[in-house]
Amino acid sequence: MFEKMSLKVYLISQTVNHDYDSYSDAVVIAENEEVAKRIHPRGHINYSWSDKDNEWQYKYNRDLSAEDEWTTPKDITCILVAEVVSPTYTAGQVVCASYHAG
């Protein structure tokens, strides 16, 4: 039988980087607040946070600076919005994000 996993919906936001071509916030699915802060608004398919290197790492070895458009987990505000039990949502998923193009 299908075992349902309870996940949480978080609003993550930052005010450190508010230049053009940056993200201000996103709604993400995660197991807890610390995991939510390590989700880049572009999504886990593209970026992952490295605690070892203390930086965002692009998974496809392209020279993109994720800090220019987002910030580090220590500067991210995280608010619990809801809990979900649904096979539709997966941990690490970005539901929506606010990107400010310049």
Write the secondary structure of 60-100 as one string of H (helix), E (strand) and C (coil): CCCCCCHHHHCCCHHHCEEEEEEEEECCCCCCCCEEEEEEE
- pLDDT band at 64, cuts 50/70/90? low
Query: What pTM, to 2 d.p., does this model score?
Result: 0.85
- Within 13 Å of residue 69, how many CA atoms lie on the same side as its CB? 20
pLDDT band at 35 (very low <50, low <70, confident <90, very high): very high
Q: Tell me, what amino acid is at 30?
A: A
What tens digit of pLDDT does each residue of 89-101 get?
A: 889 999 999 999 8
